[in-house]
Amino acid sequence: MSELILNDEYKAVMDLRETERGIKFIKDFFQDNLAEALNLQRVSAPLFLRKGSGINDDLNGVEAKAAFKVKDDGYSDAECLFSLAKWKRMVLADYGFGQGEGLYTDMNAIRPDEECLDNLHSVYVDQWDWERVMSREERNVAFLKDIVGKIYGVLKKTEAAVDAEYPQIQPMLPEEITFVHSEDLLGMYPDVGPRERENAITKKYGAVFVIGIGAELANGELHDGRAPDYDDWTSPTGDGHVGLNGDILLWYPLLDRALEISSMGIRVDAEAMLRQLEIRGANDRTELAWHKRLLNGDLPLSVGGGIGQSRLCMYFLRKLHVGEVHASVWPEDMVQKCKEVGIMLL
């Protein structure tokens, strides 16, 4: 069910061609500075993978993948990406990346089962996927926060560059990002759901990193779903909580809600993966090639995530709909309603 937010007072601050130039400016600036901040090298990434490899992300484990058959490979089955969460870690090993080094790439995915196409959600997903080799000693919340702080520093630097290039767009990021654990967030706002809790905390602070997403909370519910075989959401944090992952949220006044621009975290080691596969009832994945490599110690410990390219452009260019910064397929009634108020979807 599509839910479209329209604002009669909204007016795009730039036309279509200027918007396209702005998109390129932001993408070029952000990725160059992200690579410098985290010591990342750009690599090429696939659009699809062989089915059954265990490399593709399964999101919550129920979403259908866009799939096709490869004629000249005996009509073998291939499937389009959901994300590159596991592929990146494999590449770190195969390309010989060392401690403190990492990679980033353009990830383009198709998610046909997206339940709600709206101002923020699209069948087409584009993000910077990044992954960096880490040590056993760095598998803690302090290191996770340090990495988040570096990424937020790049966001602040990008905002300053956008302000200099397009003075009609005023900065609005706070000086610092606020950290909060999902369990503590539940304690702060016990009478509302996860999205409402995120909106409340992000509106208060402007930029928030919610730690610990995937494990069951005190109320027996999940803050949000996470696959069991990439982020570590069950290892202890040292303060009575669990979870070495999280989301970066920015408050977006145009939609009066929190805007998730990154899902990231310290990745599972063999012990955490086995524990989480057991919780999700997915022990059969241990027979897949990628999972065997992790269990055999062939993949490095790593931290990584995805940063939404279009959402970032939407935020910095002050757009009301993600379709103003990337091309996709939208319900016809949505396209028409947007046209009626002067919103042109690419």
- The single residue of 31, 79, 83, 111 carrying the catalytic annotation is 111
- The single residue of 126, 159, 260, 324 carrying the catalytic annotation is 260
209 φ, ψ (degrees, to nearest 5): -115, 115
303 bridge partner residues: 132, 266
Q: Are 264 and 17 in contact (CB under 8 A)?
A: no
32 has catalytic annotation: no
- The single residue of 247, 269, 311, 324 carrying the catalytic annotation is 247
* b/e per residue 319-330 (b: at least 16 CB within 10 A): bbbbbbbbebeb
Distance between CA atoms of 20 and 118, rounded to whole angstroms? 21
Strands 257-266 and 245-252: antiparallel
260 has catalytic annotation: yes
- The single residue of 262, 263, 302, 310 carrying the catalytic annotation is 263
- The single residue of 57, 79, 126, 231 carrying the catalytic annotation is 57
44 has catalytic annotation: no
- The single residue of 31, 83, 127, 182 carrying the catalytic annotation is 127
Strands 178-181 and 124-133: unpaired
111 has catalytic annotation: yes
CA distances from 51 to 55, 194, 248, 294 (A): 9, 33, 31, 19
Please list the active-site residues: 57, 111, 127, 247, 260, 263
